[in-house]
Amino acid sequence: MAVFKFGENDVFVNTLEAYPETSFYIHSGTVVIDSIPDLSGANQSNILHVDDGHISLYEINVDRPDGQEISASITADGYRSYPSALSVDGLYAYNVVYSKGQEIPVSYNLSGTISQYYYPEQTSKVFKERLTTIQIENNTPPHNGRVIHGVKTALPEESVNNATHQGYPVPYSIEGLLDKYSFQSPHFKMKTAAPLPERDLRTAEMSVISIPSIFYGSKIKKGSVELNYYVSGSKIGTLTDRGRRGELIQTGPAGSTGSGSVAGLVFYQEGIIVLTGSWQLGEDNGIDYSGSSDTINKWTHFGSGLHKDISSFSTLPSASFSIDFQGTTKIPTMGMLCKAPYSELNWSNNPTFVNHNSAYYGTFGSSSIHYKENEVDVANITHKELVDYVPEQVKETYISKVAIYDEKKNLIGVAKVANPVRKTPDRSYLFKLKLDL
């Protein structure tokens, strides 16, 4: 076996940047990801054991019967409790004490999906600040921007004006995001003024679409986002970021109301789309959009009903929505250049390499002091076109695999070629191997 050592410039590491495409189609409160329907199995209607419109993050309980799912737990290493003082007004809805050595259950399957939240226009603002409820009138909106409360066991709400306070509310303000990208466009200001259309995101009607990073990787590719709005199968609006600045501009239908106007913003690194376009799209079809008594088709209603019970909204199925974009994933790769030099690798341990018809095949000579196998000619397998013609003897082999060893000559990988490569002394080859890290 011939072993060659990699040279100084034979091994290199690169980063491959790819842009996988993802699409969501929202209809009747559900979402279809990449046009792939759920696959049913013997025990589950969806073999991934997650809700419709979700992807399984780890695909652990694939088609397992109910009650036989794989679960996990962690062991408490000390004592942990949440002081009762922090549960005022339900800000923390749980007082959990785990004793040392107690098993803490972990639920599976973990899944991911997109979410849509609608916020109507506000004339006053109620929000939570240090356990104190503050009423802010329209003329003095909150200084820190619109406050949105994410709740683990319920839908995020705009304020803590919530009777149950279930789950753990997480305050979230869009002001930080707007400041981060304000250099890209004046539309990223919290409050815009002439010559731009006037709107104040602290009180204006808006909706937020959240896309988990599992769908796009490190960030969404700039300029790749496209939103389409359908009613009864007919497209009534299209949004694209044709300037690659995060401005979602209505590009269709051509000449329609709002055409050419900015109807929203997209935050590529955070996977968040904020829609503010409140003008009417097409005719008023009388659709019951969830979360609002307003039946007008408009961008702030985009994605309405997503992952909600829409049984009381009989006309909502007439509306459907699609989101298309490209993600950005970076894959570290290692490249290795394996050389097959001239006049090398022209011997094989394969038994067919020698001439089995030779009179010396399998014979040997010996005496009291030595043992020696007789030399056998290499099999002449050189291709010939003529009959009764013996071509010139050429040592040739066929390379079918390239093995990679570490510094201690431990086999760590094998690369196979699609078809064996003919190697003769007057030929040299360079095999390029790539390994995703």
The pLDDT tens digits for 91-134 are 333 445 556 667 766 667 788 899 888 888 875 444 443 333 33
Taking a C-beta distance cutoff of 8 angstroms, is the pair 271, 257 a contact? no
pLDDT at res. 25: 96
Residue 68 class from Cβ within 10 Å (0-12 exposed, 13-18 middle, 19+ buried)?
exposed
3-class DSSP state of 90: helix
Q: Which of 301, 327, 328, 329 has its CA nearest to residue 313?
A: 301
Stretch (H or E) spanning 106: strand 103-106
Secondary structure letter of residue 104 according to DSSP:
E
pLDDT at res. 19: 96
Residue 179 makes CB contacts below 8 A (sequence gap 6+) with: none
Token digits for 286?
A: 């009388």
Taking a C-beta distance cutoff of 8 angstroms, is the pair 170, 183 a contact? no
Taking a C-beta distance cutoff of 8 angstroms, is the pair 235, 297 a contact? no
Give Cα separations from 226 to 220, 307, 397 (angstroms). 12, 21, 55
Residue 311 makes CB contacts below 8 A (sequence gap 6+) with: none
3-class DSSP state of 266: strand
Q: Which of 263, 307, 266, 264 has its CA nearest to residue 116?
A: 307
**Chain Cα centroid distance, residue 231:** 29
Q: Name the residue type at position 29.
A: G
Say how far apart CA 268 and CA 278 lie, in whole Å: 23
Stretch (H or E) spanning 397: strand 397-405
Can you give the C-alpha Rg of the chain in angstroms?
34
Please give the biggest Cα pair distance in the chain.
113
Low-confidence ranges of the chain (pLDDT < 50): 81-95, 124-144, 149-171
Taking a C-beta distance cutoff of 8 angstroms, is the pair 325, 224 a contact? yes
Token digits for 334?
A: 């290692």
pLDDT at res. 290: 67
Say how far apart CA 403 and CA 230 lie, in whole Å: 55
Token digits for 374?
A: 């007789």
> Residue 421 pairs with which residues in a beta bridge?
399
pLDDT at res. 214: 93
Q: Where are the alpha helices (DSSP H) in 51-205?
A: 175-181
The pLDDT tens digits for 321-376 are 999 999 999 999 999 999 999 999 888 877 777 877 777 777 888 888 888 888 88
Q: Name the residue type at position 35.
A: S
What beta strand segments (E) does 77-181 contain?
103-106, 111-112, 115-119, 125-129, 132-136, 147-150, 170-173
Neighbouring CB atoms inside 10 A of 145's CB total 20
